[in-house]
A = this chain, B = another copy of it.
């Protein structure tokens, strides 16, 4: 846990010399926390590689064959388009992230990453828990089993936030009472026991903040972003994914552009959807085509959305 003095030192330290490749676009991001949610952040701790590193690795694979035929941007777009993913693994990003436990639980499912998380078995958690903004408190979606519908009115939202805040504070009071630690290791109440940290913390909610160092290669990072910046992802992880996306855009601009064009804003058409589109382009009307297709009602709506209808 970097405290403020350490952070200030990092942010104001003069640059040093290296013979490694440097990616100018990401250097200004180094160490600077991007605030997210009410107490969270993401900050770049280190990076390896740049757009040129992707090209360099690809040219080892494809040898003289690719040199000259395609410029660097063109080669990166070619690689992204044809899902030649290994050259993107040659860049690496290391982040320090502070995030609610329920977000961490979704995040950690991405297995191809290196993680060091703050341990509440060893150390004491701060009284920091996530409470949504009133405008983010929404009802269960009727159409999407895992999503949110419209926001609550103000009074309703405040009632929800009060309940959540009250429970979180009460759970922290219990935590403190069980720890019985004045911050130096000495008991607050000398006649009471100091319950083991690994037990004292079990009543804290999944909205409590944890933090970790997280290191991942660019290919797996983009895959993470494609899932977690997706509209179906829970809003609280999406804000992290979007913040990381902005950093990646500055770090490897050509790879990011290709990713947006060929992944984020691309759409997959299934065998049946392709058949509909082909017939429509040949002049048939979409409506009867959809009716006559094997597509489910939901798939029909999704296809119309893809086609901008």
* Chain A residues close to B by CB (< 8 Å): 1, 13, 15-22, 27, 30-31, 45-49, 53, 56-66, 74, 81, 83, 86-87, 89-90, 92, 94, 96, 100-102, 104-105, 108-109, 111-112, 114-119, 121-124, 130, 132, 136-141, 145-149, 152, 156, 160, 163-164, 167-168, 170-171, 174, 177-178, 192-199, 201-207, 211-213, 215, 217, 227, 234, 260-262, 265-274, 277-278, 280-281, 286, 296, 299, 306-309
Contact = CB atoms under 8 A, between A and B. Distances in A.
B46 A234 contact: no
B64 A123 contact: yes
Given A193-B139, A199-B137, A271-B260, A170 B168 contact: no
A202 B100 CA distance: 9
Contact of A114 (B86, B94, B202, B280): B86
A148 B199 contact: yes
B149 A196 contact: yes
Given A114-B217, A171-B171, A195 B48 contact: no
Contacts of A269: 266-269, 306
Interface of A is mostly: mixed
Contacts of A227: 83
Contact of A65 (B86, B122, B192, B203): B122
Contacts of A203: 163-164, 167-168, 205-207
A257 to B, nearest CB: 10
B16 A213 contact: no
Given A46-B53, A108-B108, A146-B197, 14 more contacts: A13-B19, A17-B17, A20-B27, A61-B122, A86-B114, A90-B94, A104-B105, A139-B193, A140-B197, A149-B196, A167-B174, A203-B205, A265-B270, A281-B281
Contacts of A211: 60
Nearest to A101: B206
A291 B252 CA distance: 29
B266 A262 contact: no
A123 B18 contact: no
A158 to B, nearest CB: 12
B160 A164 contact: no
A196 B139 contact: yes
Given A116-B61, A267-B269, A277 B202 contact: no
Given A60-B118, A87-B116, A206-B206, A20 B19 contact: no
Nearest to A272: B261
B277 A307 contact: yes
A17 B22 contact: yes
Given A274-B306, A278-B308, A201 B206 contact: yes
Contact of A116 (B22, B57, B204): B57
A136 to B, nearest CB: 8
A76 B269 CA distance: 17
A80 B61 CA distance: 31
